Amino acid sequence: MNRTRFTLASLVLIFVGVILSLTAAESTDRPPNFIIIFIDDMGYADIGPFGSTLNRTPHLDRLAKGGMRLTSFYAAALCTPSRAALLTGSYPKRIGLMTGSFHPVIMPGDEHGLNPDEVTIAEILKTQNYATACIGKWHLGDQPDFLPTNHGFDEYYGIPYSNDMYPGNNAKGWNFPPLPLLRDTEVIGELTDQSTITADLTREALRFIRQNKSQPFFLYLPHVMVHVPLQAGEPFKDQSANGILGDAIEELDESVGQIMATLQQLDLDDNTLVIFTSDNGPARGIATPLRGRKGSTYEGGVRVPTIVHWPGRIPAGSSSDEITSTMDLLPTLARLANSKAPTDRILDGHDIWPILSAAPNARTQHDAFYYYRKEELEAVRSGPWKLHLKADNGQPALYNLSADISETTNLINQHPNVATRLETLLDQARTDIGDGVTHPGANVRPVGYWHNPRALLARPDGKPLNRGTYKYIPEKWTERKRVN
């Protein structure tokens, strides 16, 4: 009798032990899911957690309350370079994507695109058996080898470049072809009614999450909004006191809410790192208290509202003002997925998990952060100091961002030694990455080049895009690698 009881008890204990160890093994063996929500042209102060009183963003307020705000998180100043930096962990100029081949961003049927030799976040995560999807706006080249499914994404749904590149926008005589909607590499239609695009991308995102709930996944969700032309879906139209921009932002906030609710329903929220950020400063919104807007190398052009959220791993309701960047996401996600960033090339991002997890004394590893405007190096930040070479009247200015976040007071005469130190950092970047036409970088990699590119959808009149509007020819100083 006693022996039977003993045996039963032992069996129960063994059973419980096995269950516990299985659970432990499962939780440690399965790496986290990653979701990057990348808003287009959203300014630093366009959402509640970063001070907006114009736009109602309850879901983002909750996201910030449960996660960490990054208040010195940097993107690039325009769409194409910003996406290049995020996906490769490199300064856009290092990989030839500060501009398109004849315009400040990549255009329909552009010769240039993300070189297939580059290693993206998605490709690293594929080696760890992640399911990967890009849902939204790509803008790193629309020729076959440049599209997301050739860069580590299992699937793609969205538009290949900006939503203002459509036939109706002919203000500058562009003669744009119809705006294609793609699934993977196939054109499945033309995007004409943009009022449904945010809901459409959200539905695709939720579908991808549900389909892949049983395995690690990476969802890259570069929303089309709030790039002009601004549109919002029915329940949001004419609802915001801030006009159509507010409507569009409130619909994006609802999209975030639906994603978070789905993660909770599927019991995935505790094992998912969600990153919410923007690709550059505001076109229509505001960046208060930052100076400058989209395209500028003042803070408002490149410092973007960023929230990271991972319950139990990132302290709730916290914030960090350490210098961080879209370029840091590749090494950070690689590490969290038990992989590594590539070591056969120079990357500019750093693993910021110590900062995100609030490890004691975690500090930025960016001794210098560089600001490029198109091909030209315009500024550098090191610690609180920023040297801007083309400030007011085109003269150099030194700002202390800790005391003067709005870049109003030039301290170059009071702190000449600081300015000299930052000039040295600029010289290092000129040698390494390059600066305009006068300083080709020593350590840059060739941009992808497609010979004889074609627009994905032809114009009804059969005429090509008008390329002559801008006299901007970066091929003079960008090394190219032909990929077709």
Which residues 167-206 are close enough to bind Ca ion by CB under 5 A?
Answer: none
Per CB under 5 A, does 46 bind Ca ion?
A: no
- Per rule CB under 5 A, is residue 122 in the interface with Ca ion? no
Q: Residue from 111, 200, 279, 351 that binds Ca ion (CB under 5 A)?
A: 279
Q: With contacts defined by CB under 5 A, name the span among 77-85, 169-177, 206-214, 421-429 that binds Ca ion.
A: 77-85
Of 40, 348, 351, 407, which one interacts with Ca ion (CB under 5 A)? 40
Q: Which residue is nearest to Ca ion (CB)?
A: 79
Exposed (0-12), middle (13-18) or buried (19+): which is 298, by Cβ within 10 Å?
Answer: buried
Count interface residues toward Ca ion (CB under 5 A): 5
Query: Is residue 280 part of the contact set for Ca ion (CB under 5 A)?
Result: yes
Number of alpha carbons in the 13 Å side-chain half-sphere of residue 341 = 19
Position 79 contacts Ca ion (CB under 5 A):
yes
Would you say 47 or 389 has its CB closer to Ca ion? 47
DSSP assignment string, 122-139: HHHHHTTT-EEEEEEE--
Which one is catalytic: 59, 79, 103, 227?
79
Which segments of 10-90 are extended strands (E)? 33-39, 68-70, 73-74
Q: Which is nearer to Ca ion, 83 or 366 (CB)?
A: 83
Q: At closest approach, how far in Å is the CB of 71 from Ca ion?
A: 20
In DSSP terms, 399 is beta-bridged to: 386
Binding of residue 326 to Ca ion (CB under 5 A)? no
List the catalytic residue out of 59, 103, 139, 151: 139
Q: How far is the CB of 41 from Ca ion (least distance, A)?
A: 4
Residue 435's CB is within 10 A of a number of other CB atoms, namely 22
Residue of 360, 381, 359, 384 whose CA lies nearest to 370 = 381
Q: What is the chain's percent helix, strand, coil content, to nearest 5?
A: 30, 20, 50
Q: Among this protein's residues, is 79 annotated catalytic? A: yes
Which one of the spans 139-147, 273-281, 317-325, 456-464 is the region binding Ca ion (CB under 5 A)? 273-281
Query: Cβ closer to Ca ion: 279 or 376?
Result: 279
List the alpha helices (DSSP H) in 146-242. 197-211
- Does residue 262 touch Ca ion according to CB under 5 A? no
Peptide bond before residue 180 is cis, with ω within 30 degrees of 0? no
Q: Tell me the window of 34-42, 145-153, 435-443, 473-481 that interacts with Ca ion (CB under 5 A).
A: 34-42
CA 112/CA 141 separation, integer angstroms: 6
Going from the C-alpha of 13 to that of each of 16, 20, 223, 428, the distances in angstroms are: 5, 10, 51, 63
Q: Minimum distance between the CB of residue 92 and Ca ion, rounded to whole angstroms? A: 13
134 included as an active-site residue: no
Candidates 73-81, 186-194, 256-264, 404-412: pick the segment binding Ca ion (CB under 5 A).
73-81
225 binds Ca ion (CB under 5 A): no
Q: Which stretch binds Ca ion (CB under 5 A): 278-286, 377-385, 441-449, 475-483?
A: 278-286
Q: How far is Cα 234 from Cα 228, in angstroms, rounded to an integer?
A: 18
Q: Report in angstroms how near the CB of residue 40 gets to Ca ion at its nearest.
A: 4
Restricting to residues 417-476, which ones interact with Ca ion according to CB under 5 A?
Answer: none
Q: Please name the helix (run of DSSP H) or strand (run of DSSP E) that holds residue 182, with its range, or none.
A: strand 180-183
Helix, strand or coil, per DSSP, at residue 92? helix
Q: Cβ of residue 255: shortest distance to Ca ion, in angstroms?
A: 17
Radius of gyration of the chain measured on its C-alpha atoms: 23
Question: 131-137 and 217-222 as β-strands: parallel, antiparallel, unpaired?
Answer: parallel
The label of the residue with tokens 């297939």 reads 116
The answer to the question of residue 77 lying near Ca ion (CB under 5 A) is no
The answer to whether 225 touches 197, Cβ cutoff 8 Å, is yes
Output 41 or 123, the one with its CB closest to Ca ion: 41
φ, ψ for residue 412 (rounded to 5)?
-65, -30
- Which positions are annotated as active-site residues? 79, 139
Which residues contribute to the site for Ca ion (CB under 5 A)?
40-41, 79, 279-280
